[in-house]
Structure 1
């Protein structure tokens, strides 16, 4: 059991701790988990090493924002639902506000920035997606069956464009994973310091399912643009396995073809998201603001994080039993391979085809990739450099 924390884990204290982390946590979800471990396991001793590892396993098991789910679970363990909300707000607000300000700035600039800096951001986005595909393929597709699943999912996504093909790729990869993948579920799990009854967990899961089914129907009947936006981002948050990069193809297929915003603006915002600390899911704040102003940004932000919270508090009471189901682990392994394929397809279309229109573009993408992978430069620095080169040269 974790030692009694020396500080007072009230919601306000939790908010301030996570606000500091939200202001300083660069590097993506893996780096965020390292910051959390240093803060809450090593320094504050709110959790044991084993309990923290179990929270990471839970976050990887479910769709949604991985590092944010771990942060919510830490807040939940210390101060209940209010602690979870405080942790999520503190960690999310810094990057969300920065991206909303960036979206409003682009709206004010019009096309003045689009000809140069925006193209530079698109080039950086292509390099970042390529880096994500490489890293995720190495960790999530370590053997031949999962590599085949990855390529099959990419083929499905390219042959059947849009959300239907993407959903078919993910579900198909999960079903094939159950049949062909050999995985072993853990037989024991660490007892977690989270007091949620099974009845409460079941109610949260029912609410998650009702929203998943009811929001599309309600959006269709109400014919409200804001409600339609909320539905798109909620559904995306409920389907993203494998990290924040995977929301890129899901959101692109929903927003760009239907004319919510241009592909150039979409990719520029995605590139800018790499330059801010905190979770990648705050990309939703940029998109919502670019489409419907500040209200749209806040609405999309709530929508994309809501499934993470509902699934987390719903699954926690049943986690020990789920850990012993090998078929679920196999399905998850298949889904993870499928989402890598989905991201691979997106790297080609629309990210690559949109960003690379000349030999110079290709050279700049490769240069950005070298800066990220060989030079180990922080993403924010690569983003700023790409935007500056685009503004000066392109």
Structure 2
């Protein structure tokens, strides 16, 4: 277990760049260097993470840990990869009240918010290119974006994801039968039962204000609905806890989550600490566990049979529809709250254009982008 934990801890300290970069780090470390699994097994884990709701790259890491050491190995992988970002975001949450009033710090945070515009725009464009090649997928993407922009709510987000899954299963199914024999599928129903129990519990606690149970419920439900991971968690979290946290504070947490290595889902750490001021560490732990737990439980349900499941054409169509809707969610999030909360004056827009151009042309590492935008934001406070 220590070997798994230490390997993932080392990656958690340096894994800037978001889910796509994390998957690249994992492949080099565990397929090429350590040879814990072969490339086909690794590809199947990546595919499963795309099909299941939850944090994509963390689910891949969990699957690698599970492959190496069972459930305890999966937990060791999760703890190692998540611990650095958890500690940093918790410290930011509990200390920021003192230093947020400093003008230079405000400038740095504003610079990081502008970086969030660049990063989300790049992620949206990349996912559009990957998942919206067919006309039906493009229409699903556009419909989702318009619906969420005009009627932003958790219910609408659920509705468009369900609609996209149904339409994808009908219209985006390939004509050929990829697996003619249709071998039987074996699922682990005990993990499924635990997921259903947690989901039912969350429905009970969601209406009970000012309880730690509500924090668990809010973040568990978000973790159960996020397809695509990474930046896609932003609109769902904003809809779930936006009434309890100011937009500026929410975007501050999002910007800080961009600036550190590790999974984007640890934004829940920052928000959980803010939501439970009686004991910020308890709020942070509960929120973090709750948002990661659904994806891990569902991974355990189908981990052993995923290759067979994904080869069935209607499942592939459902996945294609959901992926297209995910791009639409990103487009909506790029507008509100990312763009509207960060771009206030013409100079902000100019910096976003410059940053996006530098990212596409020179492809600098995320560390350089973070340093550049943070320094620019600080310097602007001196002008």
Normalising to structure 1: TM-score of the pair?
A: 0.89
1:125 is paired with a residue of what secondary structure?
helix
1:67 maps to which residue? 57
- Per the TM alignment, residue 350 of structure 1 is displaced from its structure 2 partner at its CA by 2.0
1:288 maps to which residue? 272
**What are the residue-to-residue correspondences of 1:191-210 with 2, within 5 Å?**
198=186, 201-210=188-197
- Per the TM alignment, residue 324 of structure 1 is displaced from its structure 2 partner at its CA by 3.5
Contact residue 73 and residue 84 of structure 1 kept, 8 A: yes
Q: Which moved more, 1:309-318 or 1:370-379?
A: 370-379
Contact residue 100 and residue 106 of structure 2 kept, 8 A: no
| Cα 1:35–1:171 shift into 2, 3 Å | same
Contact residue 259 and residue 370 of structure 2 kept, 8 A: yes
**What are the residue-to-residue correspondences of 1:132-151 with 2, within 5 Å?**
132-151=123-142
2:261 is paired with a residue of what secondary structure?
coil
Q: 1 CA distance for matches of 2:140 and 2:161?
A: 10
| Cα 1:115–1:54 shift into 2, 3 Å | closer
Contact residue 121 and residue 267 of structure 1 kept, 8 A: no
Does residue 391 (structure 1) correspond to residue 367 (structure 2)? The answer is no
Q: Which moved more, 1:124-133 or 1:113-122?
A: 113-122
1:130 is paired with a residue of what secondary structure?
helix
| Cα 1:124–1:71 shift into 2, 3 Å | same
Contact residue 108 and residue 374 of structure 2 kept, 8 A: yes
- Per the TM alignment, residue 290 of structure 1 is displaced from its structure 2 partner at its CA by 3.0
- Per the TM alignment, residue 158 of structure 1 is displaced from its structure 2 partner at its CA by 1.5
1:344 maps to which residue? 331
1:45 maps to which residue? 35
Contact residue 121 and residue 387 of structure 1 kept, 8 A: yes
Q: Which moved more, 1:352-361 or 1:304-313?
A: 352-361
Contact residue 215 and residue 275 of structure 2 kept, 8 A: no
1:265 maps to which residue? 249
Structure 2 residue corresponding to 1:112, chosen from 96, 102, 117: 102
Q: Which whole-Å deviations, capped at 9, do the CAs of 1:140-167 have from their partners, x for residues lacking one?
A: 1122221111000011111212211211
1:275 maps to which residue? 259
**What are the residue-to-residue correspondences of 1:1-394 with 2, within 5 Å?**
11-112=1-102, 115-183=106-174, 186-187=178-179, 198=186, 201-220=188-207, 222-256=208-242, 258=243, 260-292=244-276, 293-394=280-381
1:374 is paired with a residue of what secondary structure?
helix
Contact residue 173 and residue 338 of structure 1 kept, 8 A: yes
Contact residue 153 and residue 169 of structure 1 kept, 8 A: yes
Contact residue 147 and residue 156 of structure 2 kept, 8 A: yes
- Per the TM alignment, residue 377 of structure 1 is displaced from its structure 2 partner at its CA by 1.7
- Per the TM alignment, residue 64 of structure 1 is displaced from its structure 2 partner at its CA by 0.9
- Per the TM alignment, residue 89 of structure 1 is displaced from its structure 2 partner at its CA by 0.4
2:362 is paired with a residue of what secondary structure?
coil
Q: 1 CA distance for matches of 2:14 and 2:379?
A: 29
Q: Which moved more, 1:170-179 or 1:335-344?
A: 170-179
Number of residues paired by the alignment?
373
Q: Which moved more, 1:44-53 or 1:179-188?
A: 179-188
- Per the TM alignment, residue 385 of structure 1 is displaced from its structure 2 partner at its CA by 2.4
Normalising to structure 2: TM-score of the pair?
A: 0.91
Q: Which whole-Å deviations, capped at 9, do the CAs of 1:240-297 have from their partners, x for residues lacking one?
A: 11231100111111222x1x22212211221222222221111211222233322211
- Listed as ranges, the gaps of 5+ residues in structure 1 are 1-10, 189-196
- Per the TM alignment, residue 180 of structure 1 is displaced from its structure 2 partner at its CA by 1.7
- Listed as ranges, the gaps of 5+ residues in structure 2 are none
- Per the TM alignment, residue 313 of structure 1 is displaced from its structure 2 partner at its CA by 0.8
| Cα 1:249–1:225 shift into 2, 3 Å | same
What root-mean-square deviation, in Å, do the aligned CA atoms of Structure 1 and Structure 2 show? 2.1
1:148 is paired with a residue of what secondary structure?
helix
1:4 maps to which residue? none
Q: 1 CA distance for matches of 2:163 and 2:71?
A: 35
Q: 2 CA distance for matches of 1:355 and 1:224?
A: 30
